[in-house]
Structure 1
Amino acid sequence: MSVTIDITGLPEDRLLFAPSPLAELNAMLHALAEPAHHPALHGWVTSTAAAIPAELSERLLEADFLWRSSRADFLVPGLPGATLTEELDAVDRIEDELFVAGALITTCGSSRFARPTASPLTDPAANERARDLALARGPRQAAFADRLLADPPAVRALVRRMLEDCASVFFADAWQRVLPALAADARRKADLLARRGLAEAVGDLSPSVSLDQGADGRRRIVIDKLQDSTTSGTAAGGVTFIPTVFGRPHLLAVHARGWRPVLQYPVAEADGSDPVSLALVQQRLEALAHPVRLRLVRTIARGPHTTGELADAWQLSAPEVSRHLAVLRKAGLLHTERRGRYMLYQLDLAGSARLGSDFLEALLR
């Protein structure tokens, strides 16, 4: 599963690497709304939430579905500006229909509003459907959708004032701290594109992003995500890549029709750890789903064992154990070490821990 951006025939000078104040503010608001997604930001979230005035906090709560689960596309600019004010001015120039579609993606939980057959601002059936979907998401979403559909300019003005208030309360200081790292990362990616080509630059974004140059002559940027979506950077006139500090671990892709494709990617962490692909996660889960392999893993989690020791411990044949160990090893869950004529198998504790602390604790219990 993936998000695919077709860039066939797109000149490389149409690929833009740049930091965005609005996109980083969007990431911060998401972290405040969903702190469990961002354990590394616990200190910042706690101190920032405590410093936000109650009145602003209430307004953020009313609008948090613009960034809580899905993100409104207009909060991730396709053409980043130098300042938050510049980017908010660009949002003000978006036509009402496109703004409403972007907001309804988050309010109604339906990406189909990114590709409407009719505008809910002018079509009664689309309007009713938007309200029904919003109502299913709860009274706050329903109230927001009602206000947005009844008076888009008023809601747009309220959203802008709220974001400007965030800038004065917490965003401006945080932005100044992270901007040097974001700008440096964007320059590095642009330099890689110029010196070593698109595949190198795209690969440096994240191990979850790659360039597919198909036998049919088409070129596609493929983003490893648990969804299936396609869009065209060629038709949109370009693709934008925005580095983020506060957005980690999310790899946010704007791929709706009518918007320039954007990928907001986390800058590399100091410890150099890379995300694991969805394919490898699925392979590990499938390897551990077999009851025999789970028993073997539980045994070698306590220390290195040979094939013969594992066979004796679980009353299995050595060839059967070898076959199961091969599956676990291929999934990257085992280390091997040779001692004389013996091959010892040991669990990769760091890799297993990334599947979840509950899993690792159950093994070691």
Structure 2
Amino acid sequence: MANVIEIAGLPPERIVFSPSPLAELGAALHVLAEPGHHPGLHAWVTATTACLKPDLADRLHEADFLWRSTRSDLLLPATPGATLAEDLDALDRIEDEVFVAAAFEISCSASYTRCTPSPLVDAEQRARTREQAAARGPRQAAFVDRMLEDPEGLRVWLRRLFEDCEQAFFGDTWQRVRVQLTADARHKAELLRHKGLAEALAATSAALSLDEENGRILVDKLAAGHTTASGEGITFIPTAFGWPHLLVVHAPGWRPVVQYPVASPELPAPAAARLVQARLEALAHPMRMRLCRSMARGAHTTGELAEAYGISAPEVSRHVAVLKKAGLVRARRRGRYVLHELDLPAVTRLGSDFLESVLR
């Protein structure tokens, strides 16, 4: 599965790499709301949470459906500003109907990929939004009611919330990461200009690839989506708070935006979702699990495994072939014998690879 972004005929100058203060604030707020997704940032979460005033912490909790499970498209600007104020000014220019529909697109909408009327103007959509909000608890239900009844007032409230975050913790955080993100975006833009889009995508994330023949960008994610950048273009936003997430805006009518985590030596390269699925399927067979038990303890020949489990050598070979294809078993030759052993590092990474794939 993959997100597909059509780029046929798109001129290179409409492919933008740029940091965004608002997108980085959204990523930071997600980390505060879901620290379990980001074990490498526990120290930052602990220090930041300890400094939050109770009133600000309560307000963040009230609106966290905008960034907890995933990021609202409102927090991923297609044209990033140089400052948070510039990003917020652009947010203020979005019409109420579009703003409210986008605010509820993740947690209170029936479909992200299908155009639906705004709950501000459609009674059926408004009722559905309220029903889905109520299922998530009274706090979110109350927030949704406020936005539906007074969108202008709620938008002023949200802007003040983001400005208070900047004053409380994000201003210092942004100053610390801004140089790194700017340098990363500049490097990717240089790669695009001098070596082409395929090289730039490969340097951005191992989960991004170019299907040059069909004129599209493929994003390796379990969730499938489809959008086009052939008109307005596409924006890539680096983040220091993103891993393991790779976010893609592909809602109808919105310019595609990809927020990618900046690479660092300590972060593992993401495993392809297809490979993770193949490994899990390979281990689902009870006999292959039993064979893995022996091969984890040492290298064995096909004959030894067949004798140990009372099955034929061809049957062992078929099971081992599946495990090899999934990259879980290695073979080495000793004279005329071929010895099979479990690839312990690959198996050890399987849990984290699975988690990274479903969170990506």
Superposition TM-score, scaled by structure 1 size: 0.92
* CA distance in 2: counterparts of 1:39 and 1:91, whole angstroms: 31
The aligned counterpart of 1:260 is 255
Report what 1:213 is aligned to. 212
Task: State the partner residue of 1:163.
Answer: 162
User: Are the counterparts in 2 of residues 104 and 113 from structure 1 also a CA contact under 8 Å?
Assistant: no
Structure 1 counterpart of 2:79: 79
CA contact (8 A) 2:106 2:112 kept: no
Instruction: State the distance in 2 between where 1:106 and 1:272 align.
Output: 28
| 1: CA distance, partners of 2:242 / 2:112 | 25
Identity %: 59
Deviation at 1:355, TM superposition (A): 2.2
Match of 2:358 in 1: none
* Letter in structure 1 aligned against 2:300: H
Is contact 2:248-2:257 (8 Å) kept? yes
SS of 2:230's equivalent in the other structure is: helix
Amino acid in the other structure paired with 1:6:
E
Residue 232 of structure 1 corresponds to 228
- Equivalent of 2:275 in 274, 277, 280: 280
Which whole-Å CA distance do the structure 2 matches of 1:3 and 1:248 have between them?
18
What does residue 173 of structure 1 align with? 172
CA contact (8 A) 1:59 1:162 kept: yes
The count of residues paired between Structure 1 and Structure 2 equals: 353
**Alignment partner of 1:319: what SS?**
helix
Q: CA deviation at 1:126?
A: 2.3
Q: Which moved more, 1:329-338 or 1:58-67?
A: 329-338
Query: 2:113, 2:250 within 8 Å by CA — same for their partners in 1?
Result: no
Gaps of 5+ in 1: 360-365
Q: Given the alignment of the two structures, is residue 186 of structure 1 paired with residue 182 of structure 2, yes or no?
A: no
Aligned CA RMSD, in angstroms, stands at 1.8
SS in structure 1 at match of 2:209: strand
Aligned to 2:37: 37
The residue number in structure 2 matching 1:198 is: 197
Q: How do 1:128-143 and structure 2 match up within 5 A?
A: 128-143=127-142
Question: Counterpart of 1:48?
Answer: 48
Q: In 1, Cα distance between the equivalents of 2:347 and 2:262?
A: 24
- Tell me if the contact between 1:65 and 1:141 (Cα under 8 Å) persists in the aligned partners: yes
Q: Which amino acid aligns with 1:295?
A: R
* Aligned match of 1:362: none
More deviation, 309-318/219-228: 309-318
TM-score, normalized by length of structure 2? 0.93
Matching of residues 1-365 of structure 1 within 5 Å: 1-112=1-112, 115-116=115-116, 118-214=117-213, 218-235=214-231, 237-271=232-266, 273-356=268-351
Post-superposition shift, 1:114?
Answer: 6.5
8 Å contact from structure 1 (residues 253, 262) kept in 2 = yes
Q: 1:250 aligns to what SS in structure 2?
A: coil
Point out where structure 2 has 5 or more consecutive residues left out of the alignment: 355-360
CA-to-aligned-CA distance 1:94-137 (integer Å, 9 cap, x gap) = 11111101111134154348722x32212222222221222222
